Amino acid sequence: MGLVTPVGDEIGIFWKRITTGVSGIGRIKCFDTEHCNCKVAAEVADFVPELYMEPKEAHRNDRFVHFAVAAAKKALADASFLVSQAENPGRVGVIIGSGIGGMESIKIQTGKFHHSETHKVSPFMIPALICNIAAGVVAIEIGAKGPNFAAVTACAAGSHSIGEAFQLLRLGRADVMIAGGSEAALSELSFAGFCAMKAMSVAFNDDPIHASRPFDKKRDGFVMGEGAGILVLETLEHALTRNARIYAEVISYAASCDAYHITSPDPSGEGLAICLRNLLESADCAPEEVDYINAHGTSTIYNDACETLAIKKVFGKAAYHIPVSSTKSMTGHLLGAAGGIEAIVAIQSIVSGIVPPTINYEFPDPVCDLNYVPNVAIRKDVRTAVSENLAFGGHNAALLFRRFEG
């Protein structure tokens, strides 16, 4: 596992902060927010891309690619795996999703174009901004010649990428897959768009660490974050052959669509419910066997209510006994990277026996009536954990992880 997040870029530090309720949200520093209603975000601080890439390559690529390369190299180091040592690099693939891609590159190059400086538009503009380029650059950096593409499904992109990598391994198309999501969309342009939609929190500009409050009655919108989360997935045979450390096994993956609205979730929750039912059925897992759900939990009015309803539809009475928490209360919403980061959270809950909290949960909402692990982590024997994500376009994705027991 490898990550870059607003609350830390090493697994141990990240997990300690997440389980002790440390928020990575603050007033925005990377641009002037004078013309934005929302003035808070979860920024990655003191990131130096040249630690992971040659300076020339770092200059050519967008920040979301920098994050992807860093997280992928961290994951490979954590896995003690070098593609150069693989028997066949064509059996090592990369799937890294992004919801938006090179937003900062779009802004900078568009500015040059509109100032009649077309001759100054970078020849690297197009490859810098397209969403698939993170997967491509990671493959170039590490020498992986197997399946390579990107899931571009907004906030479900990270989970879809991991899920599709899992399917390729099951189909025998690869032995190792590097998969997850990366996003770096903190710019005036993206903020202008999300603020115009009234999707972001504006009520806590003077109190940033309390701005992201999933499932709380006073939630008023999401807080944007940035970063990347990457997993190294292997077939069991490959992992055992090289005596790899196995954190957990992927048991199931499911995807569905609300087919309802381009941005609003289906108020009935049925789209996500279909996804979760398929997830459990394909794993032959009963609802009461799930020990933890890492929720999408964006801190928006409609998402949190619809997600709660979907969980209750699928898990029935068991829904009230399963801890459900949203770590976006601390990381902010990493958009296309959310699924990668939150898959790591689900896995870490299995490894550590700790369920992280939903911080800023102060005022219960009658329509959100599950156990959201308010404010303080709990110790629990987690054998099976679910990570789920919802996205604009009605996309839903869910992953089921289980403790590896040989």
**Tally of CB atoms within 10 A around 270:** 18
Nearest in space to 179 (alpha carbons), one of 138, 145, 140:
138
Q: Which residues pair with 364 in a beta bridge?
A: 216
The single residue listed with the structure tokens 């009963």 is: 286
Listed in order, strand segments (DSSP E) in 168-248 are 176-183, 227-234
Burial of 227 (0-12, 13-18, 19+ CB in 10 A): buried
Task: Judge contact between 185 and 392, C-beta under 8 A.
Answer: no
378's tokens: 């709990």
DSSP calls for 25-90: -EE--SS--TT-S--EEBPPPS--GGGTS-HHHHHHS-HHHHHHHHHHHHHHHHTT--GGGSS-GG
CA–CA distance, 219 with 333 (Å, rounded to integer): 14
Coil, strand or helix: which one is 215?
Answer: coil
What residues are annotated to the active site?
155, 296, 333
211's tokens: 């701005």
Nearest in space to 138 (alpha carbons), one of 96, 97, 201, 87:
96
3-state secondary structure 375-400: CCCEECCCCEEEEEEEECCCEEEEEE
